[in-house]
Structure 1
Amino acid sequence: MRFLIPNLLDMTRPAVDPASDTEGPSDAPPAPTRRRTSAAVWGALAIVYVVWGSTYLGISVVVETMPAFLSGAARFVTAGLLLAGLLAWRHGPGVLRVDRRQLISASVVGLLLLLGGNGLVVLAETSIPSGLTALLIAVVPALVVMLKAGAGERPGAGALCGVLLGLAGLAVLTLPGLSGDVRIGGVLTVVAASTLWAIGSFSASRIPMPKNPFAASAYEMIAGGLGCLAVGLVRGEQRGLDLAAFSARSWVAWGGLVLFGSLVAFTAYAWLLQTAPISLVATYAYVNPVVAVALGALVLREALSWPIVLGGLIVVGGVCLIVSTERRG
């Protein structure tokens, strides 16, 4: 574990295998684009696949005794400051230097991803199961395709079918809320979180972000954490706050979220957004739910009703169709 974060901070090579690059005269015809995804990209994806799949379980345990937004604020600010410190130690303070536009862009993305996306997920998990939350989040790739279409990129037939499947699965997944088995407010909160996360992910590659993706990640986490702090204070989560009432189980889960969920996995995700095709990055959305549902059932004994199983299968199928179609394009 001691070598994992320094290795992440050194992932500054291209996202494709350098062996695929060829040298030749400038007037030579372009070589066929047979680029292979690098080992660094697959390593970062593996981290996001496994670690983020387990964060839904961690969040459920944290909110058992900790306030939703204030615990998120402490998590993200702590992780952001740790990452900034690691960057300054490893590469010098200059690596954190950004201009005003880059700082604003990183802050906006951080607020969308961490306050809007993750913050609402934390809030939702106070009322709905972690597995259902993960399955609802899995519609993010479908929302990204819709955003790309709105920006003028015409999706192919396969991607369009995937979006329709994802939305159909989303409709099935809302049935537990409509039937009263879970709180519909929690379901709608996750839908809003998915939308904001998709907007943040889509925007990250289209606005002037800090050149160093890890510096961008640090600023995003600090901005998102401060946003969570503001919302938590407005909600009055500080009233009657008693640290002694937080269980050891919640503290362990919170520490795991800081170290693995934020410092390691979110850093890997921020690097992937600026380095790898977003259609490839989006594949995490059909791996995370499988991990989350399995852990929720095994550890928290969460029930797997037929709408959750059927809707989850439909959503994952739609995401697979979207990703496979876009990667062929």
Structure 2
Amino acid sequence: MSPSISSSTPAAAPSEGVSAPERGRAPLLFSLFALYIIWGSTYLAIRFALEGGFPPLRMAGVRYGLAGAVLYAVLRLRGAPHPSARQWLGGGVLGLLLLVLGNGSVVVAQQWVSSGLVALAVGSMPLWAALFGGLFGQWPGRSERWGLVLGFCGLGLLNVGGSFGGNPWAAFALLLGPVSWAFGSVWSRRLPQAPGFMSSATQMLVASGLFLAASAVKGEHLAHLPTPRALVAFGYLVTFGSLVAFSAYGYLLRNARPSVAMSYAYVNPVVAVLLGVALAGEAMSPVGLLAMGAILGAVVLITRARG
């Protein structure tokens, strides 16, 4: 989520027998795998954690607190400098937009909506990113405009078809989440950020404090000890969902075209729907399938145009 690492950073010594393009391609491919597959599976992990006894806001706060603390400690041990006050502020703004409002809305919505439908609604994020891009001088072209029309028709089908179970809070959360995440992603390059993965660490640590404060205000508490499945799901979210996948998203925002970083949006819903059907007995209505086709088609149009 931060600007590219300064050119004053010493270059790594070339590995014998491995070309520079190959070395540069490997972290890119791994980051895409993390976003496509790992991030797509976190929706089901969130559902298992909530069903097993974790309060939603407290779970998110502890999740990002643990992941952020581990990442921060490792980076400091490897010699990374302590972020400045401006970098903490920039990381805090992105932590609020991406994690508290963006991911927090996902966690809240999954109390009432299946993991596959939540992933599908969140997959609309590039639609909003295309709109926000206009605020920074990059207005949608013809192909993107058609994609916007198609995508918002798909979102309308999700609401008209009753896919959100008639719950206005779920519908509001699944509107707020993608909008906030898109705005934060577009704005990320214009905010002061710590270099490299330290940016992700500052975002997660600030977001953790905000989540835990909101949990305390709401009065959340553990009614009983989480089930073993919930604990495994929570560990998966901390390790793979936060440390690996969220850091990979930050890497792509810094080192790849925006269309590449946003491309996870048309893979995650498919992964989440398939896992929900296979492992949690979720089902997608015909209207939901039609909406999925419209939204995914729109995202493909937009990301290919921006490429």
Shorter-chain TM-score above 0.5? yes
Amino acid at match of 2:60: G
Q: How far, CA to CA, are the matches of 1:51 and 1:260 in structure 2?
A: 7
CA shift for structure 1 position 199: 1.2
Amino acid at match of 1:260: F
**Residue of structure 2 equivalent to 1:276:** 256
**Residue of structure 1 equivalent to 2:188:** 204
Q: How far, CA to CA, are the matches of 1:291 and 1:53 in structure 2?
A: 5
**Residue of structure 1 equivalent to 2:7:** none
- The change in CA–CA distance for 1:105 and 1:70 in structure 2 (over 3 A counts) is same
- The change in CA–CA distance for 1:305 and 1:231 in structure 2 (over 3 A counts) is same
**Residue of structure 2 equivalent to 1:117:** 102
**Residue of structure 1 equivalent to 2:148:** 163
CA shift for structure 1 position 277: 1.4
Q: How far, CA to CA, are the matches of 2:21 and 2:110 in structure 1?
A: 45
Q: Check conservation: 1:204, 1:274, Cα contact below 8 A.
A: no
Amino acid at match of 2:84: D
Q: Check conservation: 1:169, 1:315, Cα contact below 8 A.
A: yes
| Residue 59 of structure 2 is aligned to residue 71 of structure 1 | yes
Q: Post-superposition, which runs of at least 4 consecutive aligned residues in structure 1 deviate over 4 A?
A: 17-20
CA shift for structure 1 position 98: 2.1
Q: How far, CA to CA, are the matches of 1:99 and 1:79 in structure 2?
A: 20
> 5+ unaligned residues in a row in structure 1: which ranges?
1-10, 21-36
Deviation string 1:247-299 (CA, Å, 9 cap, x unpaired) is 11111100100000001111111111122111110000000000000011111
| Residue 213 of structure 2 is aligned to residue 230 of structure 1 | yes
Q: Quick check: which has more Rg, 1 or 2? A: 1
**Residue of structure 1 equivalent to 2:76:** 88
Q: Check conservation: 1:137, 1:190, Cα contact below 8 A.
A: yes
TM-score (norm 1): 0.84
Partner SS state of residue 38, structure 1: helix
CA shift for structure 1 position 180: 7.2
Deviation string 1:145-196 (CA, Å, 9 cap, x unpaired) is 100112222221111111111111111112243x774523212211111111
Q: Check conservation: 2:131, 2:139, Cα contact below 8 A.
A: no
Partner SS state of residue 190, structure 2: coil
Higher relative contact order (CA 8 A, sep 6+): 2
Amino acid at match of 2:62: A
Q: Check conservation: 2:102, 2:178, Cα contact below 8 A.
A: yes
- The change in CA–CA distance for 1:19 and 1:297 in structure 2 (over 3 A counts) is closer
Counterpart selection for 2:48 from 43, 47, 61: 61
Counterpart selection for 2:200 from 217, 220, 229: 217
CA shift for structure 1 position 12: 8.7
Amino acid at match of 2:249: Y
Amino acid at match of 2:197: F
| Residue 185 of structure 2 is aligned to residue 189 of structure 1 | no
Partner SS state of residue 197, structure 2: helix
CA shift for structure 1 position 203: 1.4
Q: How far, CA to CA, are the matches of 2:232 and 2:39 in structure 1?
A: 16
- The change in CA–CA distance for 1:324 and 1:223 in structure 2 (over 3 A counts) is same
Q: How far, CA to CA, are the matches of 1:180 and 1:173 in structure 2?
A: 7
- The change in CA–CA distance for 1:230 and 1:180 in structure 2 (over 3 A counts) is closer
**Residue of structure 2 equivalent to 1:126:** 111
Q: How far, CA to CA, are the matches of 2:39 and 2:270 in structure 1?
A: 11
Q: How far, CA to CA, are the matches of 2:298 and 2:228 in structure 1?
A: 39
Partner SS state of residue 205, structure 1: helix
CA shift for structure 1 position 142: 0.8
Report percent identity of matched pairs: 36
Partner SS state of residue 245, structure 1: coil
Deviation string 1:201-230 (CA, Å, 9 cap, x unpaired) is 11111212112x200000101111111111
Q: How far, CA to CA, are the matches of 2:32 and 2:98 in structure 1?
A: 18
TM-score (norm 2): 0.90
Amino acid at match of 1:155: P
**Residue of structure 2 equivalent to 1:32:** none
Q: How far, CA to CA, are the matches of 2:60 and 2:295 in structure 1?
A: 27
TM-align CA RMSD: 2.1
Q: How far, CA to CA, are the matches of 2:41 and 2:204 in structure 1?
A: 19
Deviation string 1:107-161 (CA, Å, 9 cap, x unpaired) is 1101111110111110110011110000000110010010011222222111111
CA shift for structure 1 position 84: 1.0
Q: How far, CA to CA, are the matches of 1:12 and 1:144 in structure 2?
A: 34
Q: How far, CA to CA, are the matches of 2:21 and 2:289 in structure 1?
A: 43
